[in-house]
Structure 1
Amino acid sequence: MTDSHSRVLICGSRRWPWPETITTLLDRAATRHGNDLVIIEGAGTGAASAAHHWCTDHDLPAWRHRCYPLTPTPGHRRRTRCWSETERNQQILHDEGPRLVIAFHENFHPHHTGSTTDICRRALAHQIPVWLVPTADPDKGLWLNPSHYTTPHTGHPAPHQNRTDPQTDTAVPPQTPATSTAQPPA
């Protein structure tokens, strides 16, 4: 069994234009966690596809590469039925117990509908930290928190006044998504 702190869920935009950003963060995670790293992803397009390719390029065994496609892939284990995205998101969080979610989305907004918004909201409800990467720079991002989902519709996630970095449990000064310099997960 692996260290539960090394279970990372990758999600994001179906049109994510910078797969190398995902590669960079997963390379860092692999360096930090070694053979304890478990990647969880949805085998979709965009961000999920980049994570899926990283896992296959690194020959991760099935217990370290947890893949949740919406529909069964020929030659892979068949599910009893096809899932909706929200059912799949809940199933992933329940069955896999990720310790971190990294969301790659260039136009993320917590008040829009979509699979990335849904899984981030669900993760936060389960007190799972969520790191949002909105650009090609893997070092620029934002720790999401529940207040992002409860603030008025303004076009961007609102900064949280009293948040802490979930990895170090230290205070992080409030910042807007465009200027965030909070440390990305490793």
Structure 2
Amino acid sequence: MKSIYDIQVEKMNGEKISLDEFKDNILLIVNTATKCGFTKQYEGLEKLFKKYHDKGFYILDFPCNQFFGQAPGKIEDIKTFCELNFQTTFPLFNKIYVNGTKTSELYQFLKDNGPDEMVKDGEIKPKRSKRIRWNFTKFLIDRQGNILYRFSPKFTPEEIEKYIEKLL
């Protein structure tokens, strides 16, 4: 079976890199948007990144414009917005598709191999489909590349922190 570390993603400059570069780290992969009701979660995500980065924790940010055009503009504009408004420092990648015929390889892998979505602490919503329902869906991956959790957009970074701490 393919590993998450076999997948290539596109950096902001269009260069492809392998997720193997993040091997042996804890990853929180998030599809984001700058004009979304959940955009304020960038603040909590940055706090998590700063708090745990030196312990091998990364947030990988993949903007997605599929949900009512809530990630408009060029990737450089998104980067500027996030840095100015939320002082983000975690890795930002090129825009991706999370659903449909253009779904990125990464998100197809996450949906195919990830668990059901957690909508509240301990409350799981069984998959009716593999669709990503909205921006700020978060996947938590352990150091071995196992997709342990899929958190709904309503699940805040602060609520995810205890799950991260268990993996450190």
Q: Same fold (TM over 0.5)?
A: no
Q: TM-score range by the shorter chain?
A: 0.3 to 0.5
Q: Give the structure, 1 or 2, with the largest relative contact order (CA under 8 Å, sep 6 or more).
A: 2
Higher strand share: 2
TM normalised by structure 1 equals 0.38
TM-score under structure 2 length normalisation:
0.41
